[in-house]
Amino acid sequence: MTNKTFAIAVSQSQARKIAEAIEVYAHAAYPVGGSDCAQVSRDALLVSAKAFSSIETDGIVQVRKRQRRPLKAAVDWYFSMEGPGDHSKGPELGALFER
């Protein structure tokens, strides 16, 4: 059986920023009241955001492999010139989702 998760080594500070990015992206891209598929995507992103926000020290966050692209999209958007985050953090945090 193949492993369905991947590990991301992050500092607590990085984890908090990533969690915020994912949560904001989930609410922006998949607002409440959308299609059933959109709500499933939103909920999956929010579960991943919670995994990042619950880290208490530097460490490893395990997330589902199928979430890699949506999580990277969330971080890339949030920390881009168009997103609400500090765009100088984008390259550092986006690189965490590279293979």
Q: What is the DSSP letter of 88?
A: G
CB-CB neighbours of 88 under 10 Å: 8
> Residue 76 pairs with which residues in a beta bridge?
none
Domain interval for residue 39: 5-97
**Is the CA virtual torsion 57, 90, 49, 17 positive or negative?**
positive
| Whole-number pLDDT of residue 8 | 95
Residues of the chain with pLDDT under 50: none
Q: How far is CA 44 from CA 20, 25, 49, in A?
A: 15, 12, 9
Q: pLDDT tens for residues 58-70?
A: 999 999 999 999 9
> For the chain, what is the domain count?
1
DSSP helix/strand/coil, 59: strand
